[in-house]
Structure 1
Amino acid sequence: MRLTQIAFGYFKRYVENEISNARGKYIYKNIWGWKRIDFDKRPWVYTEDRPWTDAAKRANLPSELKKRGKIWVEPIKEWKIFKGDRRELHFGMPNKITEGILLGLGNPLLDITVVCPDNALLDKYGLLANNAILAEEKHRPLFEDMVHNYQTEYLPGGATLNSVRVAQWLLQTPRATTFFGGVGKDKFAEILENKSLDVGVNVRYQVHEGIQTGVCGAIITGEDRSLVTELGAAQCFSVDFLKQPENWKLVEAAQCFYAGGFILPVSKESVLALSHHCAETNKTLVMNLHATFLCDMFADPELNLMSYVDILFGNSDEAAVFCPLVGIKSTDLKEMALEVSALPKANKKRERIVIFTQGRKPTVIAHLGKVKEYSVEAIDPDLIKDTNGCGDSFVGGFLSQLVQGGSLEDCMKCGFYAAKVVIQHYGCQYPDKPNFTV
């Protein structure tokens, strides 16, 4: 055993010596042990090749280092030797949760939920018990009516903000996420901001005076849920606000960006600004089709948005509308996902991942020319309270592992976990602490 320890000790010093020499450092040994003398230091990039091999040294030639750019690495803690070995993290993301690592851009809405014993409120405003609509003029007084005459519950809402909140909850690191959107200057905006800050999201709202903050009224009667949405100030977000120096610093600090499709009709310029930034800096852009009526914008050749998308979410209905718009003729979901993943990309350093959900049926993923199905874990129907935030929470769970450098399997596992938790609550809610392990 003693001889083995001595041998390993010498071998470790040999590895250190080889790396040091390649970096312009020289190690010599005197009676006091190993010493280092530093000369012209050069960066060293760890590769899959052992550090003393010619292949590793060739990879560290100045001409090769310029080509590589920055690569995030993770130590393999269980290895006792070969410390120079490297494991490149999935999607090239860092494993340290830094402040603002995930940035979301979307339409913030304040969800106002009331539970009614009968249909009186529905009848008063001509609403159906199980429906979702955009507010008309006759619905304007509804939200004040809910606030003043019913017991209300407030939650930050909007599809993208829901996903960011779930990611923040799973990351359990204050201000790990940032969210941009537009609000009014009113009490709804104050509630929306405070509720978001309470869970740790760093919100950056563009305030529009004279325009009401976007709200979504949810009227629950029995097992039915009637949704009335007034987008309000969420429709007024502009790229000028995003590019303000103090805001653009947050963009530069982020490593992963999530923009929902719903923001495209509001400010496609903002989405393109983030898209170009991601391509230029080799960061990750994640987008969601979000609705069939938005597929035209994703397929618009003038916008050329899809060339910047690194990870695309959508459901089977959205996929069926989107694929023909980009010349994909197949009607098989797996083939559709595969062809979408192969569409041209601006940043060729990242292979596109396409994720198509289909309710209880397996989720389809295409990546690196292959397709895989992930089964959705069944849940007792008696535990289901509200499916409205299920898709948003799935994306949030996925993103929480993505920014930590998790594998695709880990990202999917966490997405399913988050959806299973949120589906057992009204609205996009969850316990104080997550119970997820990789």
Structure 2
Amino acid sequence: MVSEGVLLGMGNPLLDISAVVDDGFLHKYDIKLNNAILAEDKHLPMYDEMAKNYSVDYIAGGATQNSIRVAQWMLQIPGATTFIGCVGKDKFGEEMKKNAKLAGVNVHYYEDENAGTGTCAVCVVGGERSLIANLSAANCYKSDHLKQPENWALVEKAKYFYIAGFFLTVSPESIQLVAEHAAANNKMFMMNLSAPFICEFFKDAQEKVLPYMDIVFGNETEARTFSKVHGWETDDVEEIALKISQWSKASGTYKRITVITQGPDPVVVAEDGKVKKFPVILLPKEKLVDTNGAGDAFVGGFLSQLVKEKPIEDCVKAGCYASNVIIQRPGCSYPAKPDFE
């Protein structure tokens, strides 16, 4: 049986402001499709502009929180998952808390008095998405919150940990605490490459924690950027996945597994010096609503079977199922019950 609090996620909780926009809007704010960036000053007016000129959905988001919500949905066991991050003391923060509780996730937010809850503009054109995150309060998470006895108790209770690479920009110290705890207690610690800019500009922070990662997730663009940054001189996703899986490890309990998604192309899994490929569920173009949350949902589905100690094949299958459901709906949302066998 899956125990309460078995899976813990830590990351940047963001309220997604999602809308189908047009090419002119992308051009105006210098936005590339299929990308994820942090908002600069030039992007700040776009949040209001989206709300004013487009039909907007508000959805509790942020990469790690999405994955944890999807894992919770797949498991259907209230309180099986926990999420930690920082929100502001405002209506968006309250909205997020309400959303997460409804989803069955046990959230322990640190509430910042001075910054507003973080938001993420999700600009959708032709089903493809681009993310511009204004971290705001999410950027204010402190490891002191994690060290509080009631929060550290959640870390001790969990057996699996998942953190998106985006959190490296916020609290590498918190990541290190959890990573070292996992290694010392034979628990499983997992991270995501998350975005090309993380591999490029947070290379040192990423490298410091890489030895602790038992599973590394990412997509083909992130994998190629990782390869370039490390001077590997290969664009071959299978080769890169293998190389990442063979990076030195802090604990010998688990051999590292690298899992790279490639949109409609097969998922690449590198483990034990070998690569396996798993086909995804192909979706007719007219059924694609938006790709926002597809990668997060894949991870959530994957984790839902991992905590049940299912084989990797089943984890990948569940990941493909979850992402297939999510891309047929706006944002990272899903029906009441999963239909996964």
TM-score by length of 2: 0.90
Displacement of 1:137: 4.5
Partner residue, 1:207: 111
Q: Are 2:215 and 1:308 aligned?
A: no
**Unaligned 5+ runs, structure 2:** none
**Unaligned 5+ runs, structure 1:** 1-95
Instruction: Map Cα deviations across residues 111-159 of structure 1 (whole Å, 9 max, x no partner).
Output: 123568x899x59x95479757644556556546766897653211011
Question: Partner letter of residue 290 of structure 2?
Answer: D
How many residues are matched?
Answer: 339
More displaced stretch, 201-210 vs 295-304: 295-304
1:287 corresponds to which of 178, 186, 191: 191
Q: Are 2:60 and 1:156 aligned?
A: yes
CA distance in 1, matches of 2:191, 2:39: 26
Where relative contact order (Cα < 8 A, 6+ residues apart) is larger, the structure is 2
The alignment partner of 1:300 has SS state of: helix
Partner residue, 1:52: none
Question: Partner letter of residue 380 of structure 1?
Answer: P
Partner residue, 1:112: 17
Structure 1 residues 337, 135: CA separation in 2 closer, same or farther (over 3 Å shift)?
closer
1:172 corresponds to which of 76, 85, 103: 76
CA distance in 1, matches of 2:214, 2:126: 41
CA distance in 1, matches of 2:55, 2:207: 45
| Matches for 1:30-179 after TM superposition, within 5 Å | 96-114=1-19, 122=25, 126-127=28-29, 134-137=38-41, 140=44, 143=47, 152-179=56-83
Structure 1 residues 369, 280: CA separation in 2 closer, same or farther (over 3 Å shift)?
same
Question: Partner letter of residue 364 of structure 1?
Answer: V
Question: Partner letter of residue 181 of structure 2?
Answer: H
Structure 1 residues 211, 387: CA separation in 2 closer, same or farther (over 3 Å shift)?
same
Larger radius of gyration: 1
Partner residue, 1:65: none
Structure 1 residues 148, 205: CA separation in 2 closer, same or farther (over 3 Å shift)?
farther
CA distance in 2, matches of 1:411, 1:328: 29
Moved over 2 A (4+): 112-116, 125-154, 217-229, 296-304, 323-333
Question: Partner letter of residue 10 of structure 2?
Answer: L
Q: Are 2:239 and 1:335 aligned?
A: yes
Identity of aligned residues (%): 48
Q: Are 2:257 and 1:353 aligned?
A: yes
Displacement of 1:323: 3.0
Partner residue, 2:161: 257
Instruction: Map Cα deviations across residues 63-82 of structure 1 (whole Å, 9 max, x no partner).
Output: xxxxxxxxxxxxxxxxxxxx
Contact 1:129/1:224 (CA < 8 Å) preserved in 2?
A: no
Instruction: Map Cα deviations across residues 281-340 of structure 1 (whole Å, 9 max, x no partner).
Output: 000011100112212577538963111000001122222222355564544322222222
The alignment partner of 2:338 has SS state of: coil
Contact 2:163/2:192 (CA < 8 Å) preserved in 1?
A: yes
The alignment partner of 2:16 has SS state of: strand
The alignment partner of 2:171 has SS state of: helix
Partner residue, 1:413: 317
Displacement of 1:360: 1.6
TM-score by length of 1: 0.71
Partner residue, 1:271: 175
Partner residue, 1:241: 145
CA distance in 2, matches of 1:300, 1:173: 38
CA distance in 2, matches of 1:226, 1:361: 20
The alignment partner of 2:97 has SS state of: helix
Contact 1:167/1:399 (CA < 8 Å) preserved in 2?
A: yes
Contact 2:120/2:134 (CA < 8 Å) preserved in 1?
A: yes
The alignment partner of 1:304 has SS state of: helix
Partner residue, 2:276: 372
Structure 1 residues 299, 128: CA separation in 2 closer, same or farther (over 3 Å shift)?
closer
CA distance in 1, matches of 2:290, 2:75: 24
Structure 1 residues 212, 350: CA separation in 2 closer, same or farther (over 3 Å shift)?
same
The alignment partner of 1:98 has SS state of: coil
